[in-house]
Amino acid sequence: MRIAIIGGGYVGLVSGACFAEFGVDVAVYEADAGKRAMLIAGQIPIYEPGLDRLVADNAAAGRLTFPASLEAGIAGAEAIFIAVGTPARRGDGHADLSYVFAAVEQVVKQLDHPVVIVTKSTVPVGTGQKIADLARQLRPDLAIEVASNPEFLREGSAIADFMRPDRVIVGADSENAREVLRRLYRPLYLIETPIVFTGLETAELIKYAANGFLAMKITFINEMADLCEKVGADVNDVARGIGLDGRIGRKFLHAGPGFGGSCFPKDTLALMRISEEAGAPSKLIQSVVTVNDTRKASLAARVINACGGDVKGTRITVLGLAFKPETDDMREAPSLDLIQGLLAAGAEVTAFDPVAMPAAKALLPPAMQFAADAKAAVSGADALVLVTEWNEFRALAPRFLAAQMRGRVIIDLRNVFDPQAMRDAGFAYHGIGRK
C-alpha cells in the first residue's frame, strides 16, 4: 500500500514515519523548501523524542521518502493525507483553511488516478464536504473521495500516541474510503485499538469536542487553584481528591499558567466560532477562551507581586519556554506573555529551555538574555520563575538554587517543587493554588 502525506510538520512527519513503521510506503511532501531540503538530507526540522531514529530507520528501509515534487509524492498513492497547518485566522479566530484548500487544489490538479483524500489537519465541520465539492468541480473525470481522520497525538509523546492511540476516528461516507483506512490502520486493529467509524461531519466535530473538553478541564482546575489561594486550600490535593473519582479522571487536572500550544488555543477559538455560526453557541467554550487569555495576560503581575510589587532592575530567571516539556513548539506558549510583561515592567530577564531557545529567540525581544544551561540561568538571579516542567528542572535542589541565586523568590507555575523544602532553604515560595 502506498500513501502520500502533504505537510511535513509535527503531524505529517510523525504520521508518515509511523505509517511507514506499519509497513506502508509513505511519501511525505513538504512545501517549505528549507524544511524539505533538511528532510531529504536526513535532518529533522522539529524536536520530537525518538522521531529522528524512526525517520532514519524507515527511510533506510525505503518505506519513507521525501519527494522533491508534489507530483512525485502523490504518484500511485491510494490515500493522500492533508496534514498542513490550520492556524487561527487573524482578527476573527476562525480556522484559517487557506493552506488546506491550497494543498487540495494542488493535489487534485495533478492527480491521474482515483484516490481518497484524508484530512488529518483539524478542520471545522463541513470542510470535508467542501473539499469533496472542490475536487468534483476541478476533476469531474476522477473518482475522488474524502475522509476525515483527525489526529490526537500530543507533542512530546507523539510516536507512542500514534502507535498506541486510545482510539482512531474515521469519518467517511463511502465503503471504499472506510476500507482504505481500515487497511492502513490494520496493525492498530490487531492490538484492539477501537476504530470508530462515523460520518464526515461527526468526525470533524469529535476533534474539536475533545480539545474543547480538555481545555475546559485545565481551565476548571486553574480556577479552582485561584480559589484555593483565597481560601487556604491546596489545589494538588483538590485535583487528586476529585481525580480519583472515575467519572472525572486524574488527567488534565494540573493547575498552571494557562494552556498554550499549537492546538488548544486555536481549536477553542474555532469551536467558539463554529458553534456561534451554527446557531448553537457554546457559552462554556467562550468562557474557557476568556478565562485562559486573562490568566496568561496576568502571569507577569503574579510574578511582580511575588517580587514585592516592583521589578525594575530585578534579575528574573525563566526556566522553560516551550508550551510544555519535550517539545520545541513555542506557539501560544505562556512564557511569551510572561516575559513580555516582565520586560515591560523593567525586569532583566534571562531564560533557558533545553530545546526551544532557537524557536523562542525569533519571538522574543532582543532585550532579554538566553543562558547556556539551567545553572548559568539561575546564577545571580533575584527571582526564579519555573514555566515549563522539564525533568531537569524538577531535579534542581533547593540548596543548589540557594547557592547560585542572589535573591530568594521562587514562582513555581507548575507546582513541581516541594514548597516546604524550598522554604527550609530560605526561599519565599509561590506555587499555583498551594499554601
Ligand X SMILES: NC(=O)c1ccc[n+]([C@@H]2O[C@H](COP(=O)([O-])OP(=O)(O)OC[C@H]3O[C@@H](n4cnc5c(N)ncnc54)[C@H](O)[C@@H]3O)[C@@H](O)[C@H]2O)c1
The helix/strand/coil state of 195 is: strand
Nearest distance in Å: CB 83, ligand X: 5
Interaction between residue 83 and ligand X (CB under 6 A): yes
C-alpha cell at 326: 519535550
How far is the C-alpha of 38 from the C-alpha of 41, rounded, in Å?
5
Interaction between residue 35 and ligand X (CB under 6 A): yes
Of 12 and 212, the one with the shorter C-beta distance to ligand X is 12
Interaction between residue 153 and ligand X (CB under 6 A): yes
Of 99 and 252, the one with the shorter C-beta distance to ligand X is 99
Only segment of 80-88, 169-177, 288-296, 399-407 that touches ligand X (CB under 6 A): 80-88
How far is the C-alpha of 297 from the C-alpha of 36, rounded, in Å?
36
C-alpha separations of 67 from 13, 21, 33, 147 in Å? 13, 18, 11, 24
Interaction between residue 382 and ligand X (CB under 6 A): no
How many CB atoms within 10 Å of residue 308?
12
Q: Tell how strand 2-6 and strand 25-29 pair up.
A: parallel
C-alpha separations of 356 from 52, 54, 231, 335, 410 in Å? 17, 21, 37, 11, 22
Choosing from 21, 48, 145, 151, the residue that interacts with ligand X (CB under 6 A) is 151
Nearest distance in Å: CB 30, ligand X: 5
Of 163 and 306, the one with the shorter C-beta distance to ligand X is 163
Nearest distance in Å: CB 122, ligand X: 4
Only segment of 109-117, 148-156, 185-193, 363-371 that touches ligand X (CB under 6 A): 148-156
Interaction between residue 55 and ligand X (CB under 6 A): no
C-alpha separations of 422 from 192, 314, 408 in Å? 46, 20, 9
Choosing from 58, 127, 148, 262, the residue that interacts with ligand X (CB under 6 A) is 262
Nearest distance in Å: CB 84, ligand X: 4
Of 107 and 180, the one with the shorter C-beta distance to ligand X is 107
Q: Give me the helix-helix angle, 264-277 and 200-231, nearest 10°.
A: 120
How far is the C-alpha of 62 from the C-alpha of 273, rounded, in Å?
43
Total residues interacting with ligand X, rule: CB under 6 A:
27
Q: Which of residues 94-113 bind ligand X (CB under 6 A)?
A: 99, 102-103, 106
Interaction between residue 30 and ligand X (CB under 6 A): yes
Choosing from 17, 24, 29, 431, the residue that interacts with ligand X (CB under 6 A) is 29
Interaction between residue 6 and ligand X (CB under 6 A): yes
Phi-psi region of 261 (alpha: psi -120 to 50; beta: other; left: phi over 0): left
Beta carbons of 399 and 373 less than 8 angstroms apart? no
- Give catalytic status of residue 263 as yes or no: yes
Of 265 and 431, the one with the shorter C-beta distance to ligand X is 265
Interaction between residue 10 and ligand X (CB under 6 A): yes
Edge-first strand listing for the sheet containing 409-412: 369-370, 348-352, 315-319, 383-386, 409-412, 428-430
Give the H or E element holding residue 280.
Answer: none
Nearest CA-CA partner of 427 in 396, 379, 384: 384
Choosing from 122, 388, 404, 415, the residue that interacts with ligand X (CB under 6 A) is 122
Beta carbons of 122 and 263 less than 8 angstroms apart? yes
Nearest CA-CA partner of 336 in 315, 312, 303, 365: 365
Choosing from 12, 128, 257, 433, the residue that interacts with ligand X (CB under 6 A) is 12
Interaction between residue 32 and ligand X (CB under 6 A): yes
Choosing from 206, 263, 304, 351, the residue that interacts with ligand X (CB under 6 A) is 263
Choosing from 25, 155, 326, 353, the residue that interacts with ligand X (CB under 6 A) is 155
- Site of interaction with ligand X (CB under 6 A): 6-12, 29-32, 35, 83-86, 99, 102-103, 106, 121-122, 151, 153, 155, 262-263
The catalytic residue positions are 263
